[in-house]
Amino acid sequence: MEVMLAEDLFPANLSIEERTRHWIHFFSLFTPLHVKALNSILSLKRRYSC
């Protein structure tokens, strides 16, 4: 999932400013349920990477 978000949705050929705008817009569409799911995923990732 991380690779898809980082590379497919926000290609490296975009400037940093453009990527930042895309990320902000992308996350502004999240509902509280999306945020909860993302937090769970990130929490699991942290737990497994330690």
* DSSP secondary structure string for all residues of 24-39: HHHHHT--HHHHHHHH
Of residues 20 and 2, more confidence is placed in: 20
Say which residue the tokens 């999306």 belong to: 34
CA atoms within 13 A on the CB side of 25: 8
Q: What is the pLDDT of residue 26?
A: 87
Residue range(s) defining the domain that contains residue 26: 1-48
What letter represents residue 26's amino acid? F
Say which residue the tokens 């769970």 belong to: 40
| Two structure tokens written together for 48 | 């497994």
pLDDT one-digit tens code per residue, 6-49: 777 777 888 989 988 988 998 899 999 999 998 998 899 889 88
Q: What is the pLDDT of residue 12?
A: 80
Domain count, the chain: 1
Of residues 2 and 34, more confidence is placed in: 34
